[in-house]
Amino acid sequence: MAFCDNKISNYRKLLILVGLKTKLNEISQELAEYKSVRNRMYVTELEQENDWLRGKLEKYDAVIEKNALRSFLERQKKKSLDRGSR
Q: How far is CA 37 from the centre of its chain?
A: 11
Pairwise CA distance, residues 33 & 19, whole Å: 22
Is 0.85 topped by the overall pTM? no
pLDDT digits (tens, 9 = 90+) for 56-73: 999 999 999 998 888 887
pLDDT digits (tens, 9 = 90+) for 3-50: 777 888 888 888 999 999 999 999 998 888 877 777 777 888 889 999
pLDDT of residue 68: 87
pLDDT of residue 6: 81
CB 64 within 8 A of CB 70: yes
